[in-house]
Structure formats: structure tokens, C-alpha cells
Amino acid sequence: MSGSAVSKVLVIGGGVTGTMVSLALSQKGADVVLVERNADLTAIGHGITLQGNALKAFQDVGVIDEVLEHGFPFAHLRMRSADGHVIMEIPTPPMGGPGLPGTAGAMRSDLATILRNAVVAAGVDVRLATTVESLDDGGDGVTATLSDGSTVEADLVIGADGIRSRTREMIGIQAEVRPVGMGIWRVVAPRPEEMDCSELYYGGPKYKAGYTPISPDHCYAFLLEENLDRSFIGEHPNGHVMKEHGQGYGGTWGRIRDALPDDAIVNYQWIETVCVEEPWHRGRVVVIGDAAHACPPLIAQGAAMCAEDAVVLADELTKTDDLPAALSSFMARRFPRVKMVLDNSLLLAEWEMHPDTPGADPGRIMGQTLHALCEPA
């Protein structure tokens, strides 16, 4: 491809980041192979909050109509005390520009299906149940040996393989994945009619409770507390445990909790983080998304940062035929923005765990971050 730094690209990992970057690059004329170790491009069934800047990235790759059709758009965030009284309501700034909703809730599995269908329709060569055994960067190209024994020659390898990225390891980038100190319970439940936006409940017995509507019929509810035993991690019929741990919250959250079946499937995770300092590339291999920066979900910006990485990388790679220059421009556009979101999310996590910290002002930091993100990626 003339005027482009890449004509053949290998993407490792088919989450939000990997599917988005595959889609964006193939739409710009690159030949893309996507390898995913799982047998399908799916996601676990709970919900996700997508801020306007994530929606803008989905618009850029042409899937926004489907995302909004399946999801639940809204334009504000409400904060409540633990008993359910409203403390304040903040309009979501137009992070995706004036033509898009401030935020939308979605089912992760719907989003994964929309992205999978788009990737297949765009002609990306998807190799499922496959991973990469080795990468040989010869300077003017990379030879990747896949787990099925085949090889792929590429101008660039993009590691989009998540927080515990093997690609990151393979290119010798040291980065510590560390627990933030919080665990999160999440469950999908029927959406009560009065629920019209994301709501957060502060000042209760745990760090925070909340929910986001994800379709006309469903919402996901969550509860943040200290890290519990690792045996809780994953998806289990632990509705009764979430009910017990979620005592002390009223309002709509309390009603959702009380209606949970004891054997409801709930997801419990420790919240972890990683931040790769600049640069995120070595030679002809780059890591993006959670592989480079996993953000605690305190501002609901993790997937948004991933989706922006994908669109910006595809943009930079197809503006010049100079790969080092393209990667350097990518870092200049991404690192300050991602670091600001990551640092502010970590600060919010600290304040939620230690609310008596002098100067703690979560509303201010959240507002500042969201306003800063109104600048285009």
C-alpha cells in the first residue's frame, strides 16, 4: 500500500482492542490476520458502560448504529447516598462530539458479536483457537510461528492480548500487573422502569454500589469492596453471596439486590492495573489496549482507551510509509491521554478505599477527566 507503513498486519487477541484495530486497518486497505486463543470471538455476558469517546471510536469503524440499537443510550450520571437519596446529577459531557449520546450501556456479549461480524465482513483472516509461539523480527518484517505450526509474515505485529499479554513478554517489556485493592461483583438483572442512567451509591458499608442500564430490558448492577478470597473469582451461582455483601444499600439498588435469585450467576473480579511506560513498541511489534495500560473501571474508561488506541494506530499507520515515525506519532497522541485517565482512575480508587483522605473529591476528578476527554483522541 503506497503512503502506508503497513500492508500486512498480524493482530494477537480478539477482544475489543484486537477486533477494533483489525477492523480499522482492513477498512484502510491492510491485509490483516487476527489470532485468538479462544474458540470464538465472544465475551462474558455482563454489562459495560461505554462513554462518548468509545462511541466515537465505534462510529469511526462503522458499528455505532448497531451498538446503540442493542444498548441503552443516556446523557447523565446520578450519585446517591447509600439509602438511595439523590446527592447530585452530572450531565455527561459530549466526549464523542455533539452527534452522539454522552454514554451508553451495553451487554459485553452483544458488543463482541457486533465486532466479530464486522471483522468477518471486512475480510479479516480470523484464526480461532490459535496463538503465537514465537516472533522473529528480522528488521524489514516479522515472521510469526503460530500454535498450529503455520507461519505468518507481517510488516507489523500488534499485541492486543490483554492485561497478561504474552506479546509484551515476548518483546521484553517489563510491566507489573498489580491488584488495586478492590474487588467487584457484577450481575445482569431486569432493568427497573425508573432506571434511566448510570447511578452510583456512596457512603454505604462497602466502597460503592451502582448500576447501568444496558438494554430496554436489562441492567447490570455492581458492588465494589475489598479483595476477597480468590475462590470467588469468575462466574459462579453466587447470587446469595452478592445479596449478603450488598446489605445496607436502599433505593433501586436495594430492590435489585432483594430480587436476585440465590443462584443468580454473578461475576467477581479483583481489580488490577498495569501501565507500560513509553514506548509500547519494540522494532516491528507494538502492544496496545489492556496489554499496554489496564485501567481500573472507576471512570468506565478502560475499553474506551482500548477502542481509541485501535482507531488512532490505524490512522497513524496509514498516513505515512515511515513505520518508526508512525509509531512515534501514535505514542505522542496516546500516552499523555491514557496516563491521565489511568492516574485519575487510580486516584479515585484510592479515595474510594480511603474516603477520609484529606482533599478527596471524586466528583471533581471525574468531571475534570470526562471534560478533558472531550478533546478528540
Contact 208, 238 (CB under 8 A): no
In the complex, least distance from residue 312 CB atom to ligand FAD, rounded to whole angstroms: 14
CB closer to ligand FAD, 213 vs 289: 289
Sole binder of ligand FAD in the list 131, 145, 215, 320 (CB under 6 A): 131
Sole binder of ligand FAD in the list 184, 187, 274, 286 (CB under 6 A): 184
Sole binder of ligand FAD in the list 290, 308, 315, 352 (CB under 6 A): 290
In the complex, least distance from residue 306 CB atom to ligand FAD, rounded to whole angstroms: 5
Residue 68: its H or E element: helix 64-70
Q: How far is CA 284 from CA 23, 54, 60, 317, in A?
A: 20, 27, 25, 12
CB closer to ligand FAD, 309 vs 315: 309
| Interaction residues for ligand FAD, span 8-27 (CB under 6 A) | 12-18
User: C-alpha angle 334/176/200, rounded to 5°?
Assistant: 65
Sole binder of ligand FAD in the list 170, 275, 303, 312 (CB under 6 A): 303
- Helix ranges (H only) for 104-213 are 108-121, 166-170
Q: How far apart are CA 331 and CA 43, in angstroms?
A: 28
| Interaction residues for ligand FAD, span 201-260 (CB under 6 A) | none
Quote the DSSP letter at residue 192: P
CB closer to ligand FAD, 15 vs 251: 15
Q: How far is CA 354 from CA 43, 134, 207, 348, 362, in A?
A: 33, 44, 9, 10, 11
CB closer to ligand FAD, 142 vs 306: 306
CB closer to ligand FAD, 42 vs 328: 42
Q: At what angle do helices 302-317 and 16-27 cross, to 10 degrees?
A: 30
301 binding ligand FAD? (CB under 6 A) = yes
CB closer to ligand FAD, 258 vs 278: 278
300 binding ligand FAD? (CB under 6 A) = yes
User: C-alpha angle 292/349/313, rounded to 5°?
Assistant: 25
Quote the DSSP letter at residue 258: H
Mask for 47-86, x = binds ligand FAD (CB under 6 A): -xx----x--------------------------------
Residue 41: strand, helix, or coil: coil
Q: Which residues bind ligand FAD (CB under 6 A)?
A: 12-18, 35-38, 48-49, 54, 131-132, 160-162, 166, 184, 269, 271, 289-290, 297, 300-304, 306
